Amino acid sequence: MPSPSAADPGRNPHPTNQRWILTTVRTILANPRYTGHQVWNRQRTDHDLIDPANTSLGHRDVMRWNAPTDWIISTTPAHTALVSEADFVTVQHTRAARQTAPGRTYTLAGLLRCAMCGRRMDSHWTHRPAYRCRHGHSSATPPLPHRTPNAYIREDQVLPRLPALIIRLTDHAAELNETAAPPTPAAAVEYLRAESISMIFDPTTRTLTADTPQGERIAID
């Protein structure tokens, strides 16, 4: 079975091209629609106070995921299934928590991919959380001279830029007014994880590109 990029490159213009990648498989196994049924009410819009201490600032809309018990699922199949219902239920109970060294947290773990090779970037601690890609080189031997240099980016260089990316992803910019507050970095990370959206880091141009059909892009200083 061809990957989404291979089957419909117009809608899936990803740099991974013809390959199946982990994030694509994970998205399919986590989305109940791939069981062949139509699903509604997976998300809701909450109206949160911009500042609970100052209600005059008004509210902002925040998209959140509903619990599976609140989903509305069609009783009859709506399209051909890619995943059986039994396999879907099994997968939801087999996700393992990521283990890190005590005192070290990686907010963006699993969300960054390398533009040079398409691999997921590894969490890497150098006095602070960061991410790198060695393009498949995992040996202690020195890499070949012509090999592409490692890609590296610090977490504190990415987080402040994420609200701008989320505004573009959600078309929320037109709704913002003088009193509305942009999404926080934490809310931006939550949105990316909920939507299974990866960010592709290009070390040459110092840009992050969303793994979406539109390919929204932001620059990293």
The tens digit of pLDDT for each residue in 125-175 reads 888 999 999 887 766 667 677 777 889 999 999 999 999 888 888 864 444
> Is 87 part of a structural domain of the chain?
no
Domain count, the chain: 1
Q: Identify the pLDDT of residue 98.
A: 57
Closest to 213 in 3D by CA, of 10, 21, 17:
10
Higher pLDDT: 176 or 44? It is 44
- Does a structural domain hold residue 183? yes
Of 59-63, 97-101, 134-138, 198-202, give the lowest mean pLDDT range: 97-101
The boundaries of the domain holding residue 155 are 107-221
Give pLDDT, residue 15.
54
Residues in Cβ contact with 22 at an 8 Å cutoff, skipping those fewer than 6 apart: 120
d(C-alpha 148, C-alpha 109), whole Å: 23
The answer to whether position 156 is within a domain reads: yes
Residue 161: HSE in the Cβ half-sphere, 13 Å Cα cutoff = 20
Q: What is the pLDDT of residues 105-115, one digit of tens each?
A: 899 998 999 98
Structural domain includes residue 29? no
188 within domain boundaries: yes
What per-residue confidence (pLDDT) applies to 14?
A: 58
Cβ–Cβ contacts within 10 Å for residue 21, how many?
19
SS3 (DSSP) at 114: strand
Under 8 Å between Cβ of 136 and 117:
yes
pLDDT band at 176 (very low <50, low <70, confident <90, very high): very low
Mean pLDDT of 28-34: 85
Contact 206, 220 (CB under 8 A): yes
Q: What is the pLDDT of residue 155?
A: 95
Tell me if 199 sits within 8 A of 189, measured CB to CB. Answer: no
- pLDDT at site 36: 92
CB 177 within 8 A of CB 58: no
Q: Which amino acid is at 63?
A: M
Q: Is residue 42 part of a domain?
A: no
Indicate the pairing of strand 199-202 with strand 112-114.
Answer: parallel
Position 44 in a domain: no
> What residue ranges in 21-67 does DSSP mark as E strands?
39-40, 43-49, 59-65
According to the model, what pLDDT value does residue 160 have? Answer: 92
Looking at the domain assignment, is residue 86 inside a domain? no
